[in-house]
Amino acid sequence: QVQLVESGGGLVQAGGSLRLSCAASGSIFSINVMGWYRQAPGNQRELVAVITSGGSTNYADSAKGRFTISRDNAKNTVYLQMNSLKPEDTAVYYCKSVMTVNKYNYAYWGQGTQVTVSA
């Protein structure tokens, strides 16, 4: 089975930092794109950051300058370093990956990890 498992969420005070990890496992031929999304109660799920297999990155305006996405291809893992956290960053953060499995491309979602930032 192919799956994504997130970790690293938690409770921090405003101005603090967290690093999220997302590890892909299973019979994966290749990982094309990996990204982080978040969803706060009552809000739509929104894109936070994405990274391609070639290392190109894009960030939501709210994340620019504070968050950094990176990946370790050898470990099939993507990271999100979050600095200068704000209460409005509070959300469930989800890892998403487009992967080639059995000659087909599929979008996979992790189970989510809670990030809570207190004022």
Could you tell me which residues come within 8 angstroms of residue 92 by beta carbon, excluding any fewer than 6 positions away?
Answer: 38, 39, 40, 112, 113, 114, 115
pLDDT score at 29:
84
Task: Report the amino acid identity of residue 34.
Answer: M
More confident: 59 or 30: 59
Question: Is residue 113 scored above 90 in pLDDT?
Answer: yes
Nearest to 45 by CA among 25, 64, 60, 66: 60
Question: 38 near 46, Cβ under 8 Å?
Answer: yes
- Mean pLDDT, residues 2-12 taken together: 95
% residues pLDDT > 90 (the chain): 86
Per the prediction, the chain carries an average pLDDT of 95
Encode pLDDT of 92-101 as tens digits. Answer: 999 999 999 8
Kindly report, residue by residue over 38-56, the tens digit of the pLDDT. 999 999 999 999 999 889 9
Q: Report d(CA 99, CA 60) in Å as an integer.
A: 22
Q: Given a cut of 90, is residue 31 above it in pLDDT?
A: no
